[in-house]
A and B are shown apart, each in its own frame.
Chain A
Amino acid sequence: MKWKTKDGGWSPYLAGALVGLLAIASVYATTQWMGKSNYLGASTTFVRAAGLLERTVVPDHVAANEYYTREKVRVDWQFMLVLGIFLGALISSATDRSYKLESVPPIWEKRFGPSIGKRALWAFLGGIVAMVGARMADGCPSGHGLSGMMQLSAGSFVALAMFFSVGVFVAALVYGRRPS
């Protein structure tokens, strides 16, 4: 097995195993210093971000909303973790020269052309559908996929199986080799 990939990255087995160690260290550290075991996740932060943005315009509405009240609109541990993902990816890509400004992903361009507007519209719509789904399922590939499966949570295995099987089906419809 090679430790480096052709594009200068690390073997996904190695990088993944290190994330496993990070997940263990993180649960330990949060339990020690925050008094509560926190597991890696990302999607709740989008709820908090939405709440923070809405609060600047309609504060009373956010305060009265059941879901925002339940998830607590604030910049918490996970919110900073998500911001950290941005910084970590920036540091890694800038130092190994894999940072690349890209307007349209290559697979998308091959199928749907170079239009940024078209990509933007579909990414936005896809984002809406995905996030409604993630909040309904109570997790995303981080919260269910990594953290849930590590803990052998039954629901997380079902959630991940749904994410992926439906993803395979829809991806075949969207990017499949049909003449466009």
Chain B
Amino acid sequence: MSIDQMLGLITGILFGFLLQKGRVLRFEKQVGAMLLKDMTIFKFMLSAILVGMIGIALLADAGIITLSHKPMNFGAVLLGGALFGTGWAVMGFCPGTSIGALGEGRWHAVFAVAGMVAGAALYAEIFPFIKSTVLAWKDFGKIDFPEVLGVSPWVIIPFFWAGTISLFFWFEKKGL
């Protein structure tokens, strides 16, 4: 195994362990969030973002790491996002959690995984068409909020923290 693969495997094991401990792998948690009844996956995800964004911004400021933004291609995020949301609601898993759900015994996730592999194969076939239509509509490129707003990330981060912590208090108050 190469060092790349070794590093990926170790990171994945820790990631899967924490996803399972946070109980976010289950169909019930995913669909529960979409039914606005159980916000566990958002508590988990936003907590990760709150912590992660500080470390990432520090390391990027120090020039130790490079940021890797995905392009904001308008047609792609809107149509792709809508398709993903539709499939996510029906299947009850996202790509990462489907694999984790298999690990904790929810073997029915295998059908979701098979569907996603088939979907990936289908996308590879239709890619030239998508590229000349949806992806060609409007591409804003790899932009981030500090660039859009013309401020340092350290101005945005405190607002993001304040908003998210307020949301957490609201979740707890409502028992979500």
Q: Name A residues whose Cβ lies closer than 8 Å to a Cβ of B.
A: 1, 5, 7, 9-24, 26-31, 33-34, 36-40, 42-43, 45-47, 49-51, 53-54, 65-68, 75-93, 96, 98-108, 116, 119-172, 174-175
Contact = CB atoms under 8 A, between A and B. Distances in A.
Secondary structure of the B side of the interface? helix
B48 A146 contact: yes
B106 to A, nearest CB: 5
Among B90, B98, B142, residue most surrounded by chain A Cβ atoms (within 10 Å): B90
Contacts of A24: 51-52, 55-56, 59
Contacts, number: 525
Contacts of B41: 12
Contact of B101 (A19, A38, A89, A149): A89
B119 A89 contact: no
Given A77-B4, A88-B20, A90-B103, A83 B12 contact: yes
Nearest to B157: A152
A108 B48 contact: no
Given A122-B91, A130-B119, A131-B87, A28 B128 contact: no
A99 B8 CA distance: 24
Contacts of B69: 148, 151, 153, 155-156
Most buried by A among B52, B82, B113, B144: B52
